[in-house]
Each structure stands twice: as C-alpha cells, then as structure tokens.
Amino acid sequence: MALKRYVVGCFDDEEVLFPAVKKVRNAGYKIQDVYTPFPVHGLDHALGMRETSLHTAGFIYGITGTTTALAGMGYVFTQDWPMNIGGKPNFPLPALIPITFELTVLFAAVGMVMTFCYLCQLAPFVRKHHFHPRATDDLFVMAIECTERTNVEDLKGFLQSAGAIEVDYQVAESGWWFGRYDIQPKLYAEENPVIG
Amino acid sequence: MHLKYESQIREPLVDGNKDYHQITEDIIRPIEAKPSRLWYIGFSISVALLLFGVYSVYRDVTYGIGQWNLNKTIGWGWDITNFVWWVGIGHAGTLISAILLLFRQGWRTGVNRAAEAMTIFAVMCAGQFPIFHMGRVWLAFFIFPYPNTRGPVWVNFDSPLLWDVFAISTYFTVSLLFWYAGLLPDLATVRDRAKTKFRKLMYGILSFGWTGSTKHWQRHEALSLVLAGLATPLVLSVHTIVSFDFATSVIPGWHTTIFPPYFVAGAIFSGFAMVQTLLIVVRKVLNLQEYITLGHIEAMNKVIVLTGSIVGCAYLTELFMAWYSQNEYEAYAFFYSRANIMSPYGWAYWGMMFCNVVSPQVFWFRKLRRNVTFTFFMSVIVNIGMWFERFVIIVTSIYRDYLPSSWSVYYSPTIWEIGFYLGTFGLFFTCFFLFAKYFPTIAVAEIKYVLKTSGENYKERMDKVEVQKVEEFANDYAH
C-alpha cells in the first residue's frame, strides 16, 4: 500500500451530507469514502457504489451446507456402516431434515461472516487510518483523494461552502497494516512521503 | 427535509432531547466509569454461586451422577428440566434481533443487544446440563460424527438427541456471530473515545479495525439482514428440536404432536420474562430509562401475554386430547399425574397453571403493562412457572411406569443437583455483569439510526410540520 493525500470534510448532519456528496461528485472530485457513525441508507447509492453480492455468497455457502449434510449422512448410513434399525430404510430422508437444515444455516452464517470480515479487512490487530476520531461518534467524515491536479485550498473552500463544519488535509496510508491502537503508528521513516 | 418518516401515533423510542453525541455519551459512559459498589456486590455473589456450581460439577465427575437423586424410572430430573429451561430463555434474544428485525419493529433497537447477550449466556448454561448428564463427560466428544478408530462407529443421525447437538451448537454459533457483528461498530466507538492505553489496546483488538466506511456499512446491513433471515427459522427450529426429544418418544404425556409450537411459544414467553428481569435492573442502574422506555417494557409485556395465552391454549388442548383420545395411559398421565392436585406432583402442575396461564392475563391492563415494579415481579413469576412446566412435563410423565413395580419413590433433588443449577445461575450472571460493565448494553449505532424518526425531540418537530400542513389545507379550502 501507499501513502495518499486526502482532503477531509466533516459534516454533522446527514441531511447536509447528501446534497454535499452530490455537489462534490458533480464537481468531478473522487470521494474515497464517507465514514459514518451509523448506516445511512441511500448513501451507498449517492456515492455510486454497486450493490454488495454478500447475499449470493451466503446462498452458495448455504447450499454447500445442505449438500455436505445430506452427502455425509447418506455416506454413513448407506455406504460406510449401514445398520438395520427396526427394518427402517437406510436413508430416511424426513429424519435427516433437522440436521440438514441446521448445517445449511451454520455454513451460511459462518461463511458470510468470514466473507464479510475478509471483504472489509476486519480482524484483531488490524489497523487502518482513521480520518477523524468522531467518525464513530457523531460526525460524517468525507475523504476526497487528491490527484496532482487538485488544488487543496480550493477543495477545502468548496467543502466548507457545501456545509462541512471542519475541513482538513491529511497524508495517510490507504490500506491496512498490523498494529495496535495504543501505539501511534510510524509507518515510514522518511519525513517526505512518497505519494502513490 | 426528512429522510425517513414514522407515524405520529407511535410512541417515541428515545426520550429526552438527544443528539448523536449525547447518545454515545449516555450509553458508553458506564463503560468508562468505575463500577459501582452494587456491581461489585452482584458480581461477587455471582462468582460465589459459580464456584459452588463448579464444586458440584467436580463432584459429579468424580463420584458419578449417582449423587443425584435420579432413579430407575426418573432418568431425567432436574438436569434436563434446567437444560430445557435455559434453552427456552435463550430464545428471546435472537427472536428480538432477527424476527422483530424482519417484522420492522423499531422498538427492538433499544433492547436487542442485551437480549442477544442474554441468549448467548443462557445457551452456554443450557449446554452444561446434557454434557454432564452423560456421566462420563471425558467421552463427550463421541457425540460428534467424525471418522474414528472405533469401527468407525457413527452417531445415530435419526436420533432427536443428536439433532439437539446440531441445533444447539448451530444456534449458539449463529447467535454469537450475529451479536458480535452488531457489536463491532459500537466497540469501535468505545475505542475511539478511549483515554487510557489499556482500553485503547483492548477495544482496538475487539473492534477489528472498524472505520465506519460506507461500503462496510452496506455490507454490514446486508449481513445483518441475511443473518436475521437465517436466524428466524433457526430460532423456531431449536426449540422444536428440543421438543422432539420428548415428542418422538412413546411415553404418555410426551407423545404429542402439539409439542413443537407449544415449546416455541413457551420459550419466547420465558425468554421475554428473563429479558424484562435483566433490563429493568440494567436501565435503572445504568441510567438508561430514556432508551429502554416504558414503551419498550409495554411492548415486551404484550409479547408475554400473547405467548402466555398460546401456552395456556396448549395446556388445555393437551387435556382435551387426553380425554378425546380415550387412551387410558394418556388419561392417567394428564388427569391423575398432573391435573389431580392430590397426586404427588399435582402441586407442581397447578403452580405452573397459575404462573403461566392465569397470572400473565393481568397484562391486558395497560396500567399494569407500564408498571415497572409490577413487571419485574411478574417476570420472575413467569420464569418460575416455566421452570415448573418443564419439571411437570419431565417428571410427571416418567415417575410411574406401566407396572406398579416400576413406580418410583418421590423424587426430590440432592444438594448437588441444586448446586449445579445454582452454578449455572452464577455463570449466567457473572457473564452478564461483565457484559454490562465492558460492552455497550444498547446498540449505539442502531439507536442513532432511529433517532431522527423516533426520538422524542425530533417527533415533536415533525408534529409541527404536520399541524401546519393541516392549517394551510384548511385556509386554502375555507369558504
């Protein structure tokens, strides 16, 4: 990963944020992300994000569970160790439904949560750059990535006019790294960062 | 401009003049403050109970479960009663977080976090009983189907007892994942406010590096919705499968098709009662009356009166069927062993009837539904009643076998059976005290999400908009 330059605008109301997002995008700036303390519905569409396909992943994990359960029990009861229990059939489907259902749910849930953590890069000891400590409290923090053509001062003024209560210029690592939250990161030795 | 709208008729879910920061302050402050003396007292009592439980279990393992008063006909006594009771309690949390999410019940946001935590702890307690009931607990891993060197000898996938293993372990895992996924953003809030190094470290690890990015929230919402969809049938399946432990047997009193819905209703009934017991204390001690309002308590009391009545219906149906089937063994189980107050366990049956069917009917009155002290008292009564229900189902069905030579003497527990039960109380409350101290007891992000539609101060503002519109309308069309 690399260091990047950002202009950060903080909003204190989602009803100001939405028009601001529209203005910033219309002006041609690239919004890296908006950090919000709670899910703001419609913001993903306003930012032009595509729908997540986590549901599809969940479905695939679910049918994997169904298949595993039926195949496993079928193998045990008909191939590996068939038993005559009161003359009942060796593959009694109705009696296998509860375990099949439970494994479907288990596979889907565990798989989805792991996929979610993987996609969002969430794990213990993972650290990321936080643009504002109040982004998890009461501020909606918009981070705009600067290119070599961006005029930082202009952009700051533009954000302020769009309703930002706080604007800021930050140079930050764009990815994640292993780290702890009680130790301040010092990722690069040199003072002048390499802009990626 | 309003992004969301909610009817004015609905009660506010957040009382007082709140903004986003105030919500964070109110809910996170108890985590950052030193625990009160009451917390230390409660926690010490819980740990003491837990230690007594650990000693009882130690004795069970060392001397065998012969030190319990189980006998030839009563193979299941307090242990399985307690198991079913705890599993039942463990149903409210996921019901609140999953089913009520799908039903779009806004009031769940105030209570879901604590209820889910309660679910997880209750299922942990429940799991202890069947495990130690095995006797030789060091062979407990035999319940898992894996290729082994004993033949391989497989478990019997046809057996409801094995379905239970799968149901309960799945339920525990899914509830835990659902709960923790919801906790991540709130733990990040605690982390970002932390002043001490240790707290920064701990909550930094626990919050997995959550930033609040819009893309992450989008996935988080999708995850919550699908997990809710998966957990909804799961909740219903778990107690259904627990009821199969009884219903698939051929013992009079157990062998009934009504068991699955009847057990599920009973589970929700006792689960909500336990949520009330805990939250009424939590809202008082942590000063959260503005988030867990009287409206929340009333809503839960409505669920209690509904499920209590369903359970009552089931009891009457059972009696009807015992008569209508003209089966003498059924009749003996229901009309002698249970409903006859002069029979050895008649008192337990009528205690159950009173606590579960008669007493919740007081919640038809709005005044009593909104009375906090009375609700607390009732929630304890309901859980006593639900314990008796499981005791009645288990013991009165098996204490007299078909032959009088197989009639058992009166069954009462030994101190070690009671100790085991008390020990699970210790485990439950120790976990709950730790949770209430170190985790946000209310879902902070979810409360912020509903603030603008359901906060008292915002609702008032919305009200004014409505009134103005009506006046304009009247002026425009006045003759």
- The domain ranges of chain A are 3-51+127-178, 54-120
Which helix (H) or strand (E) segment holds residue A141: the answer is strand A140-145
Domain annotation covers residue B7? no
Answer whether residue B108 shows pLDDT above 60: yes
Lowest mean pLDDT among A124-128, B95-99, B222-226, B347-351: B95-99
> Which has more confidence, B418 or B153?
B418
Q: Residues 220 to 259 of B: which have CB under 8 A from any A CB?
A: 220-223, 226-227, 230-231, 233-234, 237, 241, 244
Answer whether residue B116 shows pLDDT above 60: yes
Cα B322 from Cα B166, distance rounded (Å): 32
Residue indicated by tokens 């959260």: B288
Instruction: With CB atoms and an 8 Å threshold, state whether A33 touches B163.
Output: no
Percent of chain B with pLDDT over 70: 95
Going by pLDDT thresholds of 50, 70 and 90, the confidence category of residue B152 is confident
Instruction: With CB atoms and an 8 Å threshold, state whether A98 touches B184.
Output: no
Instruction: With CB atoms and an 8 Å threshold, state whether B177 touches A109.
Output: yes
Per-residue pLDDT at A70: 95
Nearest by CB: B211 against A117, A123, A128: A128
Cα A6 from Cα A1, distance rounded (Å): 15
Domain annotation covers residue B14? no
Nearest by CB: B212 against A72, A92, A136: A136
Average of per-residue pLDDT values in chain A:
87
Lowest mean pLDDT among A116-120, A181-185, B382-386: A181-185
Three-class secondary structure of residue A8 per DSSP: strand
Cα A169 from Cα A146, distance rounded (Å): 10
The structure tokens listed for A51 are 């729908």
Three-class secondary structure of residue A129 per DSSP: coil
Per-residue pLDDT at B149: 84
Domain annotation covers residue B301? yes
Instruction: With CB atoms and an 8 Å threshold, state whether A120 touches B213.
Output: yes
Mutate to test the interface with B, among A12, A35, A36 (most CBs of B within 10 A): A36
Cα A97 from Cα B244, distance rounded (Å): 13
Per-residue pLDDT at B472: 60
Going by pLDDT thresholds of 50, 70 and 90, the confidence category of residue B479 is very low
Q: What is the CATH number of the domain that holds B238?
A: 1.20.1630.10
CB pairs under 8 A between A and B: 208
Cα B388 from Cα B384, distance rounded (Å): 6
Per-residue pLDDT at A45: 85
Answer whether residue B385 shows pLDDT above 60: yes
Percent of chain B with pLDDT over 90: 56
Nearest by CB: B205 against A106, A119, A125: A125
Residue indicated by tokens 């994942």: B177
Residue type, B141: F
Q: Residues 148 to 167 of B: which have CB under 8 A from any A CB?
A: 151-154, 156-158, 160, 162-163, 166-167
Per-residue pLDDT at B1: 37
Q: Which pTM value belongs to this model?
A: 0.91
Domain annotation covers residue B472? no
Average of per-residue pLDDT values in chain B:
88
CA dist list (Å): B153 to A88, A98, A103, B136, B270: 19, 21, 21, 18, 39
Task: Tell me whether A38 touches chain B (CB under 8 Å).
Answer: yes
Domain count, chain B: 1
Beta bridge partners, A176, equal A128
Three-class secondary structure of residue A32 per DSSP: strand
Task: Tell me whether A133 touches chain B (CB under 8 Å).
Answer: yes
Beta bridge partners, A178, equal A126
What residues contact B126, with CB distance under 8 A and at least 6 apart?
B82, B83, B84, B85, B86, B87, B90, B168
Contact call for residues A34 and A179 (beta carbons, < 8 A) = no
Domain annotation covers residue B284? yes
Cα B262 from Cα B396, distance rounded (Å): 18
Going by pLDDT thresholds of 50, 70 and 90, the confidence category of residue B320 is very high
Task: Tell me the per-residue pLDDT of A124-165, one tens digit each, with 9 for 90 and over.
Answer: 998 888 888 888 988 999 999 888 888 888 888 888 888 889
Task: Tell me whether A130 touches chain B (CB under 8 Å).
Answer: yes
Considering only alpha carbons, which residue of chain B is nearest residue A98?
B163
Task: Tell me whether A58 touches chain B (CB under 8 Å).
Answer: yes
Per-residue pLDDT at A195: 58
CB atoms within 10 A of CB B258: 15
Domain annotation covers residue B310? yes
Nearest by CB: A102 against B166, B177, B205: B166
Per-residue pLDDT at B102: 85
Domain annotation covers residue B35? yes
Going by pLDDT thresholds of 50, 70 and 90, the confidence category of residue B2 is very low
Per-residue pLDDT at A193: 55
- The yes or no reply on domain A3-51+127-178 and CATH 3.20.20 is no
Burial of B141 (0-12, 13-18, 19+ CB in 10 A): exposed
Instruction: With CB atoms and an 8 Å threshold, state whether B158 touches A92.
Output: yes
Per-residue pLDDT at B476: 57
CA dist list (Å): A176 to A185, A187, B202: 11, 11, 18
Task: Tell me the per-residue pLDDT of B421-469, one tens digit each, with 9 for 90 and over.
Answer: 999 999 999 999 999 999 999 999 988 888 887 777 777 766 565 555 5
Q: Residues 142 to 171 of A: which have CB under 8 A from any B CB?
A: none
Cα A62 from Cα A103, distance rounded (Å): 8
- As a dihedral over the C-alpha atoms of residue A66, residue B257, residue B172, residue B233, rounded to 10 degrees, the angle is 60
CB atoms within 10 A of CB B451: 22
Going by pLDDT thresholds of 50, 70 and 90, the confidence category of residue B14 is confident
Cα B126 from Cα B59, distance rounded (Å): 19
Lowest mean pLDDT among B44-48, B100-104, B160-164, B424-428: B100-104
Per-residue pLDDT at A12: 87
Going by pLDDT thresholds of 50, 70 and 90, the confidence category of residue A188 is low
> Which has more confidence, B266 or B7?
B266
Domain annotation covers residue B465? no
Per-residue pLDDT at B3: 47
Instruction: With CB atoms and an 8 Å threshold, state whether A101 touches B203.
Output: no
Domain extent at residue B246: 20-146+153-455
Cα A108 from Cα A55, distance rounded (Å): 10
Cα-trace Rg, chain A: 25
Contact call for residues B242 and A114 (beta carbons, < 8 A) = no
